[in-house]
Chain A
């Protein structure tokens, strides 16, 4: 964790905001599984607990992605003005964590289905929009994961492939919007209050930041744009 971020742990607004954002998914998920001890005291179908874990990990992948996307869109100039500049280490760490969480979410889901059906569910690793709503939504999630991987690779290799390669990293934004849509449409909890409010906030804030950034980039002289 960067020293700049460590300084902000004393800022009640930052702490309160982070706790609220990180607490809402857990509270909403918990409300559906409580009392969780039942899943360990009684016999439950194979893969059920792994499926529940997959859902929780998926929620945090989206929340982390939102923080990461907002941090990236703001750029270093606006981040400094807002006094939330936590350094490249924070951005890289969170980005890799989001990729890890998204990959874990997908793997846990596939594992849960495999445990349930006793077959490796290869169908969920294929992108298909012709097999109904559920498969289509899973395909969107898979595309979001693959595009996120491209964004991470672009970020990690930009120094080797020249300055224009940095723009490939911006595919993270459509990846986030796809992930948000996938999560909203397929997840039961995502339309439960207060998580639904957080999802609306994520959509509006990200869209607003993209628009602001686009206008800023067109309206100010070269060199003073947010980086």
Chain B
């Protein structure tokens, strides 16, 4: 047993040490990436602002379902992507399921000069759907229909939420 104890102990100590650092409380104050609520997003869409949704998930997940009008950009794509398509956006909302990957993509976009990068206060597409907002689901409707549903929601959020429930 003693022959292999150092390896196991070393691995355990390393992970525990890193966990302690990772769990350190986040300092209050300025967020690394600002958040925006779905209500604010709907207001921006209603006001005709350029809102770009960036889906940070894998292409297979994006193909299954996404926020209407979203583009698919994973973390590994950012270095090679042409950020000009996002340069004139009023708000760029990066998201994934719970915004772990969405946050990382928003941070990478911010570092690439897209300072309008945000994440959703309601945390990702799960939070978006929990608010009763529409998504594009493969095979259920066309992309155009999904975007039109989102615009309708922006004009009348209450009716939109009722339709979804």
Chain A interface residues toward B at CB < 8 A? 1-2, 32, 38-53, 56-57, 87-90, 92-94, 96-97, 100-101, 104, 108, 112-113, 116-117, 132-134, 185-186, 188-189, 191-192
Interface-central residue, B4, B5, B24, by most chain A CB under 10 Å: B4
Give B24's nearest chain A residue, CB to CB.
A40
A32 to chain B, nearest CB (A): 6
Which residues of the other chain, B, contact A96 by a CB distance below 8 angstroms? 4, 7-8
Q: Which A residues are CB-close (under 8 A) to B8?
A: 93, 96-97, 100
Q: Give A90 to B123 CA distance when docked, in angstroms.
A: 44
For B61, the chain A residues whose CB sits under 8 A away are 132-134
Q: A57-B15, A93-B3, A133-B61 are in contact. Are A50 and B32 (CB under 8 A)?
A: no
Q: Is B29 an interface residue (CB 8 A)?
A: yes
Partner of B76, one of A113, A133, A191: A191
* Residue among B29, B65, B103 facing the most chain A CB atoms (10 A cut-off): B103
In the bound complex, CA of A55 to CA of B106 (Å): 18
Decide if B104 touches A89 in the complex (CB within 8 Å): no
- B65: which A residues are within 8 A, CB to CB? 132
Task: Determine the chain A residues whose CB is within 8 A of the CB of B103 once the complex forms.
Answer: 44-45, 48
Interface range, B side: 35 or more
Instruction: Give Cα A90 to B57, complex, Å.
Output: 38
Report whether B15 and A42 are in contact in the complex, using a CB–CB cutoff of 8 Å.
Answer: no
Q: Which residue of B lies closest to A61 (CB)?
A: B11
Q: How far is the CA of A104 from the CA of B18 in the complex (A)?
A: 11
6 example contacts (A-B, Cβ-Cβ < 8 A) are as follows A57-B18, A93-B6, A100-B12, A113-B98, A116-B123, A188-B76
